[in-house]
């Protein structure tokens, strides 16, 4: 038991609000303001009503019935001046039985400020449940209160109760003999009260078809029918089920596994000091249990336009199900829990791939540590544990999830928990550091997806999406687009479902977001998530133009590079700590072009699809997003650099590589692979640093293979340092020559000038001759051959040099070697003779 209690503090944060100090104590209801209504009996059978104030953490006595009665339902108005209660006579066994002929269920309205009159609202042979409506603004006492009465006879009424003050602070019911009432719903088979949002959901059967309806009660306590939605489930019109109209009695929990479970969840959540409307609408359904081998439940994601039916294996045939299924609302997730058998954490914002949800079987230590007693899910993520008699608020515990991330071995669980941890918010810098530490230790243990890719995309998503509505539809959530690997213990079937039909035309808040989601499902095919395909094409086009010497408007290129400058400035402004890694120390125009293009394309994408947001705000979000992508790469690098205690300066080419440099080089290679597949920009200087470490760590044949396969990208900065740092030993000459011949022509010509060696002279001469003879047209041979300054009697060479000299003299301006005036026919003749002598061994 202590083990389970310890787990409660870790995976789900339990904030107890009331302990069972009396054997007969029962929690009856939790009002919208969080106050808990409870009852207990003394040794004489008198019934006491109490209130636990969640703000002051104090208990308050409300009322006492000096009769041995059983309380069916109870509610207190927001001003604590009226108490509504529904009661029946207790039997000798002290438990609620079916009403006997002639017995009555009394529904009473009591003045409790101070205790005064008692009015009978109902006296019938069927059970009644009561619930006061709570206004959204509680700044002053209200002259009128509204009370819902739900009858077992399948109707719901709303009473209008006006109150007045007498003798100072005494509050009494005005005209108590003539309370106005109106019929809210009738002929329903199931109903659920949403305490937090003051909504009533109910299902009625039309031609044997289940129709889910929702009533929204507004500030003035009027109500509107918001939507109707068909449900593909089987309900019996003779049945009757209520959800969240107070807390059920323990006896109702004993046979939960034998009955269907149905509940509705809508979500909004506070994250990073922001209030984010998700606009989700989920209906969770589990039919009557009829098998000891498997358990089936369905979740209808109306905001996504599809439903999923899950079938969970229960293990051995002997493992009987004795507890009911519990659905819990956990912000971005909903949990499905069958005590002792499985725990399923479902991602409701991105439910398409099963790998983004976490499924744990009964063999898991996590499931074993969860409470095994019957649980009741209430509004606002509240959970009632029947065995302990305690009320909890269920929250995902980020610390335990991080611990679970380190211990899990399945790729699907790594994926699900990674996203779950990021969704919890908190100190994002600290959280990212913990995840990066985990990635660096487990980078080679994940085979179904790339850990670095997933972390970069997911963390960038969560850094931006909470700020603006609808961003979840426009930015990529995951690097994984499909998942075909089986999840142990569970199978699923996905089907499209009919969308809710909205019954109103003006929306605000949650309803505006839900309607936006429904419109997106109807009309947005295919999905609008941003990808870098356009950036890839444009970047390759610009690089190709650069190689051929042709480039489009300089204004266009300047704007692209200006975008990159803004990104880097934005990144530096957010990170004031000095960097250990030697990045951002060179221009690296290729990466700057990629950065700038991504800013341009992403901005255009958001401007097209993000309505009602200022252009300036969109531009800043784009800069923040691209900066975040770069920052995450920098964080991974910083963590690796610090872990292996490398010097903040750029390593030298000379000397042997250390084990630490090998490990950093491996991490950088994995970063490059991850970003290359997604075509994401890298910090300027990354390729230079990666190449230097590659030269330092790899044998020549491996190094050249990495270069030829595109893993190592030769930059002008890296090769320039190589030429200067390494002397001309035979081994280094071979390395330098192998690298020079792999350089693009323009960079190669510059690098050759830095290497004072016959090989570089030979390359320079070849390039010069190639340029001179590119457009050469043969002229009639001259009768006189002028001897060169070298007295070498080698007619073919003399004749060839004469031709070059003639071309140079006639096209001097056209064929100047980009400022290197000393490269001419004489230089070529010298190089040719030296090369010949080398070949002859002279």
State pLDDT tens for residues 298-334: 999 999 999 999 999 886 545 555 567 889 988 889 9
Predicted confidence at residue 762, as pLDDT, reads 63
Predicted confidence at residue 335, as pLDDT, reads 93
Are 148 and 158 contacting, i.e. CB atoms less than 8 angstroms apart? yes
Q: Kind and range of the H or E element at 57?
A: none
Phi-psi region of 188 (alpha: psi -120 to 50; beta: other; left: phi over 0): beta
What is the DSSP track for 310-358?
A: EEEE-SSTT----S--EEEEETTEEEEEETTTEEEEEESSS-SSGGGSE
Reported confidence tier of residue 558, pLDDT bands at 50, 70, 90: very high
Over 90: is that where the pLDDT of 254 sits? no
DSSP 8-class letter at 656: P
In 3D space, the residue among 91, 106, 103, 98 whose CA is nearest the CA of residue 45 turns out to be 91
Reported confidence tier of residue 554, pLDDT bands at 50, 70, 90: confident
pLDDT digits (tens, 9 = 90+) for 736-749: 888 888 887 777 67
Average pLDDT over residues 570-581: 87
Q: Kind and range of the H or E element at 679?
A: none
Over 70: is that where the pLDDT of 842 sits? no
Write the CB contacts of 198 (distance below 8 Å, at least 6 apart in sequence). 32, 133, 134, 136, 216, 217
The pTM of the full predicted model, rounded to 2 decimals, is 0.85
d(CA 424, CA 347): 12
Are 646 and 659 contacting, i.e. CB atoms less than 8 angstroms apart? no
Predicted confidence at residue 87, as pLDDT, reads 92
Q: What is the dihedral of CA 346, 349, 351, 357, to 10 degrees?
A: -30
Predicted confidence at residue 4, as pLDDT, reads 40
Predicted confidence at residue 273, as pLDDT, reads 42
d(CA 770, CA 775): 9
Number of H helices, E strands in the chain: 21, 31
Of 803 and 145, which is predicted with more confidence?
A: 145
Name the most confidently modeled range: 575-589, 609-623, 763-777: 609-623
Predicted confidence at residue 412, as pLDDT, reads 95
Over 60: is that where the pLDDT of 92 sits? no
Q: Which two tokens stand for residue 790?
A: 């070298």
Over 70: is that where the pLDDT of 706 sits? yes
Paired with 495 in beta bridges are 307
d(CA 620, CA 575): 17
d(CA 377, CA 321): 19
d(CA 739, CA 724): 14
Average pLDDT over residues 23-37: 87
Q: Are strands 188-194 and 241-243 parallel, antiparallel or unpaired?
A: parallel
Q: Kind and range of the H or E element at 512?
A: helix 510-523
Over 50: is that where the pLDDT of 814 sits? no
- Express as a percent the part of the chain with pLDDT over 70: 80
In 3D space, the residue among 266, 384, 269, 278 whose CA is nearest the CA of residue 326 turns out to be 384
Are 202 and 213 contacting, i.e. CB atoms less than 8 angstroms apart? yes
Using CB atoms within 10 Å of the CB of residue 783, give its burial: 0 to 12 exposed, 13 to 18 middle, 19+ buried: exposed
Predicted confidence at residue 457, as pLDDT, reads 97
47 to each of 411, 467, 545, how far by Cα in Å?
55, 50, 87
Q: Which two tokens stand for residue 487?
A: 């999840």
Q: Which two tokens stand for residue 786?
A: 């002028």
Over 70: is that where the pLDDT of 376 sits? yes
Over 50: is that where the pLDDT of 393 sits? yes
pLDDT digits (tens, 9 = 90+) for 499-539: 999 998 888 888 999 999 999 999 876 678 899 999 999 99
Over 90: is that where the pLDDT of 251 sits? no
Average pLDDT over residues 689-717: 92
Average pLDDT over residues 4-22: 39
Predicted confidence at residue 112, as pLDDT, reads 93
Using CB atoms within 10 Å of the CB of residue 658, give its burial: 0 to 12 exposed, 13 to 18 middle, 19+ buried: middle
Reported confidence tier of residue 10, pLDDT bands at 50, 70, 90: very low
pLDDT digits (tens, 9 = 90+) for 427-445: 889 999 999 999 999 988 8
d(CA 218, CA 224): 8
Predicted confidence at residue 11, as pLDDT, reads 28
Predicted confidence at residue 732, as pLDDT, reads 85
Predicted confidence at residue 471, as pLDDT, reads 87
In 3D space, the residue among 333, 348, 356, 306 whose CA is nearest the CA of residue 518 turns out to be 306
Using CB atoms within 10 Å of the CB of residue 613, give its burial: 0 to 12 exposed, 13 to 18 middle, 19+ buried: middle
Name the most confidently modeled range: 560-569, 643-652, 743-752, 780-789: 560-569
**257 three-class SS:** helix
Over 50: is that where the pLDDT of 12 sits? no
Lowest mean pLDDT among 244-248, 367-371, 644-648, 762-766: 762-766
pLDDT digits (tens, 9 = 90+) for 95-137: 444 444 445 899 999 999 888 889 999 999 889 999 999 977 6
Over 80: is that where the pLDDT of 769 sits? no
Q: Kind and range of the H or E element at 685?
A: none
Q: How far is CA 63 from the centre of its chain?
A: 48
In 3D space, the residue among 659, 662, 655, 596 whose CA is nearest the CA of residue 627 turns out to be 596
Average pLDDT over residues 443-462: 94
Rg (CA), the chain: 38
For residues 697-719, one letter each, b for 16 or more C-beta atoms within 10 angstroms of the residue's C-beta and e for the rest, the string is bbeeeebbebbeeebbbbbbbbb
Predicted confidence at residue 775, as pLDDT, reads 59
Predicted confidence at residue 108, as pLDDT, reads 95
Taken in order 582, 586, 588, 591, is the CA torsion positive or negative? positive
579 to each of 102, 631, 638, how far by Cα in Å?
82, 11, 7
Over 70: is that where the pLDDT of 798 sits? no
Over 50: is that where the pLDDT of 3 sits? no
**397 three-class SS:** coil
Predicted confidence at residue 96, as pLDDT, reads 47
Average pLDDT over residues 2-12: 34
Q: Which two tokens stand for residue 324?
A: 């009911």
Q: Which two tokens stand for residue 163?
A: 């109150």
């Amino acid at each position: 038991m202590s083990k389970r209690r310890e787990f409660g503090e870790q995976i789900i944060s339990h904030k107890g609000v009331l302990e069972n100090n009396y054997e007969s104590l029962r929690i009856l209801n939790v009002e919208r303001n969080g106050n808990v209504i409870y009852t207990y009996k003394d040794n004489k059978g008198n019934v006491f009503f109490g209130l636990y104030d969640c703000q002051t953490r104090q208990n308050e006595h409300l009322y006492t019935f000096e009769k041995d009665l059983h309380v069916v339902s109870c509610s207190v108005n927001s001003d604590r001046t009226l108490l509504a209660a529904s009661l029946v006579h207790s039997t000798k066994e002290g438990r609620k039985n079916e009403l006997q002929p002639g017995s009555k269920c009394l529904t009473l309205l009591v003045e409790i400020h101070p205790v005064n009159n008692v009015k009978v609202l109902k006296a019938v042979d069927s059970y009644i449940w009561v619930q006061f409506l709570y206004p959204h603004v509680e700044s002053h006492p209200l002259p009128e209160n509204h009370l819902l009465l739900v009858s077992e006879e399948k109707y719901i009424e709303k009473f209008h109760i006006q109150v007045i003050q007498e003798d100072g602070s005494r509050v009494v019911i005005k005209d108590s003999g003539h309370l106005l009432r109106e019929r809210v719903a009738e002929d329903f088979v199931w109903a659920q009260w949403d305490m937090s949002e003051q909504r009533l959901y109910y299902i009625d059967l039309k031609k044997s078809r289940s129709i889910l309806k929702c009533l929204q009660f507004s500030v003035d306590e009027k109500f509107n029918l918001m939507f109707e939605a068909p449900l593909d489930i089987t309900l019996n019109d003779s049945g009757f089920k209520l959800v969240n109209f107070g807390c059920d009695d323990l006896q109702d929990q004993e046979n939960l596994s034998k009955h269907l479970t149905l509940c509705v969840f809508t979500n909004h959540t506070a994250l990073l000091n922001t209030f984010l409307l998700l606009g989700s609408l989920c209906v969770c359904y589990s039919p009557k249990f009829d098998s000891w081998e498997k358990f089936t439940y369905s979740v209808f994601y109306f905001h996504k336009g599809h439903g999923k039916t899950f079938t969970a294996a229960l293990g051995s045939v002997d493992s009987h199900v004795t507890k009911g299924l519990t659905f819990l609302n956990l912000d971005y997730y909903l949990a499905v829990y069958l005590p002792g058998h499985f725990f399923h954490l479902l991602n409701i914002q991105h439910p398409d791939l099963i790998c983004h949800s976490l499924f744990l079987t009964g063999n898991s230590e996590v499931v074993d540590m969860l409470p095994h007693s019957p649980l009741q899910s209430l509004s606002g993520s509240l959970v009632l544990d029947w065995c302990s008699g305690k009320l909890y608020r269920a929250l995902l515990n980020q610390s335990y999830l991080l611990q679970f991330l380190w211990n899990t071995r399945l790729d699907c669980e790594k994926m699900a928990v990674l996203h779950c941890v990021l969704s919890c918010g908190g100190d994002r810098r600290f959280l990212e550091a913990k995840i990066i530490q985990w990635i660096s230790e487990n980078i080679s243990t994940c085979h179904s997806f790339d850990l670095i890719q997933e972390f970069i995309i997911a963390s960038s998503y969560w850094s931006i999406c909470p700020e603006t509505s609808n961003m979840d539809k426009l930015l990529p959530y995951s690097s994984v687009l499909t998942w075909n690997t089986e999840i142990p213990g569970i199978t699923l079937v996905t089907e499209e479902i009919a969308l809710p039909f909205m019954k109103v035309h003006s929306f605000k808040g949650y309803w505006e977001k839900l309607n936006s989601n429904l419109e997106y499902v109807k009309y947005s095919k295919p999905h609008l998530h941003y990808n870098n395909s356009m950036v890839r094409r444009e970047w390759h086009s610009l690089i190709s133009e650069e190689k051929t010497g042709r480039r489009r408007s300089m204004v266009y290129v300047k704007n692209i590079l200006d975008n990159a400058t803004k990104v880097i400035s934005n990144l530096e402004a957010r990170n004031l700590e000095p960097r250990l890694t030697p990045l951002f120390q060179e221009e690296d125009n290729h990466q700057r072009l990629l950065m700038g293009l991504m800013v341009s394309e992403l901005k255009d994408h958001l401007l097209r699809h993000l309505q009602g947001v200022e252009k300036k705000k969109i531009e800043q979000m784009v800069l923040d997003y691209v900066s975040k992508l770069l920052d995450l790469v920098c964080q991974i690098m910083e963590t690796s650099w610090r872990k292996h205690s490398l010097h903040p300066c750029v390593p030298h080419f000379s000397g042997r590589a250390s084990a630490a440099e090998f490990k950093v080089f491996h991490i950088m290679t994995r970063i490059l692979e991850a970003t290359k597949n997604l075509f994401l920009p890298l910090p300027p200087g990354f390729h230079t640093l990666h190449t230097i470490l590659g030269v330092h760590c790899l044998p020549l044949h491996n190094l050249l293979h990495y270069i030829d396969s595109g893993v190592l990208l030769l930059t002008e900065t890296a090769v320039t340092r190589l030429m200067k740092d390494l002397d001309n030993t035979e081994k280094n000459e071979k390395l330098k020559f192998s690298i020079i011949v792999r350089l693009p022509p323009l960079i190669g010509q510059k690098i050759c000038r830095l290497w004072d060696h016959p090989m570089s002279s030979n390359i320079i001469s070849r390039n010069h001759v190639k340029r001179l003879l590119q457009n050469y047209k043969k002229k009639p041979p001259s009768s006189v051959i002028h001897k060169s300054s070298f007295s070498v009697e080698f007619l073919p060479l003399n004749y060839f040099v004469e031709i070059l000299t003639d071309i140079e003299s006639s096209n001097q301006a056209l064929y100047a070697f980009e400022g290197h005036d000393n490269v001419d026919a004489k230089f070529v003749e010298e190089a040719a003779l030296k090369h010949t002598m080398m070949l002859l061994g002279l």
